[in-house]
A and B are shown apart, each in its own frame.
Chain A
Amino acid sequence: MSDSAGLVVTGIGVTTAVGRGKADFTRALFAGEHRFAVMDRPGRQSGTRFVGAELPDPVPAPRLDARDLRTASLTGQVALATLEEAWTEAGLDGYDADRIGLVIGGSNLQQRELVRAHDRHRAKPHFLRPSYGLSFLDTDLCGLCTSAFGIRGLAHTVGGASASGQLAVIEAAEAVAAGRVDVCVALGALADLSYWELLGLRAMGAMAGEDHADAPAEACRPFDRGRSGFVYGEACAALVIERRDARPAAPAPYARLSGWSVRLDGNRDPNPSLAGETAAIRQALHRAGLTARDIDYVNPHGTASPTGDETEVAALKACGLTHAAVNATKSITGHGLTAAGAVEAAASLLQMRHGRLHPTRNLTAPVDDAPRWVRGQAVDADIQHCLSLSMGFGGINTALCLSACAA
């Protein structure tokens, strides 16, 4: 798919631990802030001291009545708040509801809430609340969001592990490009992990351990030689995607979606693939009609996993992208897992609009000197073309090209 479809992003919503809403989030990005700490949300620890970035309470839930609020998960409430920001910015109230779609990136999204329900009813399972039969499904988020916003065009979830958020952006773009809807919101949903998922991710060596519990600010260090795995972060982002000429009243777009790619490694395992990552980058560039030299800035996946970061740097080098500026949004937000790809696309678009790149926290000894790292402090930058990358367990690689509308 080339940008001949004229797809643009006209609204953004962001909810992360460092900033609720675009203004707070953007300020925190450029300041290199963080909220990493030993997590204390109920269901996150079990004799453990996992470090992560949690949202401040309470989370506002606009368009949600008190009755639904009682059974809406944290993931659902954050989705509604994030969607509200993107929806309002794009000015979608009053638009033909049959022509608006929603693609939610993520699966197994509400694990912490499920574990808490299991714990409450373990000794008396026959009293489990009937609403559990609905709320254990990820698609409950589709119901919450479409009922609150009146969306009638399409709504479904897409699972791509840590690439889910970017996969949602791609699926939403393709839905608009195919004419299924005029406007489609891609939402990278908050992956609400319980201690069980955290234990599993730690056991497999993907996640930084509890050795950072006494220095949580230093735990998350993508592309640094001292990294030891990703640090979890609660996050969610929504992007409104539409044809540039679809609505006369649409606001000025952030950028064009000029190209994208989804490439598989044919591999169930969590290990990254240089071949898969380079294939995704090259295909996205080709579809955008760009060369590597055209890319000013790369927002990488950058989880801080020992092999993941090295493989990604190797992919950037193999694709001729060492001239481009590179920073790691996860160093500030933590790893939002299913939300990450959408959050990082949003971060890329906000940086393009502000002409400024955020620093990479804790990048004191880079794994490789070839990429043009942004670290220390934010820098001004004229970004005409940007590349955002996401990779998920199971060999899922996605790449997204974003281009300034004047470019």
Chain B
Amino acid sequence: MTKEKTFTLIVDAVREILPELADHDFGETDTLDGLGANSMDRAEIVMTVLEEMDLDIPLVDTHGPRNLGELAQHLSDTAAVKAG
């Protein structure tokens, strides 16, 4: 899955978990903390994206990226490696 498509999945998940951001103009430099997500929200967002990607990895493996763009890149790269 491309980084761009993964980013779209992340934005969709953020809008689902944080409905008050429905009209927010998301960018790659947005951070989940900055968007107002608490620890439970962050875990819900990432798990929602992982399910959409059918990417079975521990949540702890998604803790490195610092913003939405880096998270999209990381998940996209991880999915590519898992797919061989």
> Is B80 located at the chain interface by the 8 A CB criterion?
no
Q: Beta-carbon contacts of B42-77 to A below 8 Å, as 1s and 0s?
A: 011001101100001001000000000000000000
A47 at the interface (CB under 8 A from B): no
A131 touches B51 (CB 8 A): no
A131/B56 in contact, CB under 8 A: no
Contact of B20 with A66 in the complex, beta carbons under 8 Å:
yes
| Known A-B contacts A67-B41, A134-B40; A127 and B47 likewise in contact (beta carbons under 8 Å) | yes
Q: Tell me whether B17 and A70 are in contact (CB under 8 A).
A: yes
How many A residues face the partner with a CB closer than 8 A? Answer: 13
Beta-carbon contact of A65 and B44 below 8 Å = no
Contact yes or no, A129 B44, CB < 8 A: yes
Whether B16 is near chain A, meaning CB under 8 Å from some CB there, is yes
Nearest B residue to A69, CB-CB: B19
Q: Which residues of B contact A126 (CB under 8 A)?
A: 56
CB contacts (< 8 Å) of B19 on chain A: these are 66-67, 70
Nearest B residue to A66, CB-CB: B19
Q: Determine whether the beta carbon of B59 is less than 8 Å from that of A127.
A: no
Q: Size class of B's contact patch?
A: 10 to 19
Give the nearest-CB partner of B16 in chain A: A70
Assuming the contacts A124-B51, A126-B56, asked whether A131 and B20 have C-beta atoms less than 8 A apart, the reply is no
CB distance from A267 to the nearest CB of B (A): 41
Whether the Cβ atoms of B56 and A130 lie closer than 8 Å is no
Query: Contact between A67 and B17 (Cβ–Cβ < 8 Å)?
Result: yes
Contact indicator B50/A127 (Cβ below 8 Å): yes
Main secondary structure of the interface of B (DSSP, over half): helix
Interface positions, chain A 331-370, Cβ under 8 Å from B, are none
Residues of A contacting B17 with CB < 8 Å? Answer: 67, 70
Question: What string of 1s and 0s marks CB contacts (under 8 Å) between A123-152 and chain B?
Answer: 010111111001000000000000000000
Q: Which residues of A contact B59 (CB under 8 A)?
A: 130
Q: Is the CB of A130 within 8 A of B20?
A: no
Measured in the bound complex, the distance between the Cα atoms of B18 and A131 in whole Å is 14
Bound complex: CA A67 to CA B43 (Å)? 14
Measured CB to CB, the nearest residue on chain A to B56 is A126
Q: Which residues of B contact A129 (CB under 8 A)?
A: 44, 47-48
Please pick, from A67, A71, A134, the residue contacting B20 in the complex, using a CB distance under 8 A.
A67
Nearest-Cβ distance from residue B4 to partner chain A, whole angstroms: 23
CA distance A123 to B48 in the complex (A): 15
Within 8 A of A (CB), among B1-33: 16-20
Residues of chain B at the chain A interface (Cβ within 8 Å): 16-20, 40-41, 43-44, 47-48, 50-51, 56, 59
8 more A-B contacts (CB under 8 A) besides A124-B51, A128-B47?
Answer: A66-B19, A67-B20, A71-B44, A126-B56, A127-B51, A129-B47, A131-B43, A131-B44
Q: What 3 A-B pairs have minimum CB-CB distances, sorted nearest first?
A: A130-B43, A127-B51, A66-B19
Q: List 9 A-B contacts (CB under 8 A).
A: A66-B19, A66-B20, A67-B20, A67-B41, A128-B47, A129-B44, A130-B47, A131-B44, A134-B40
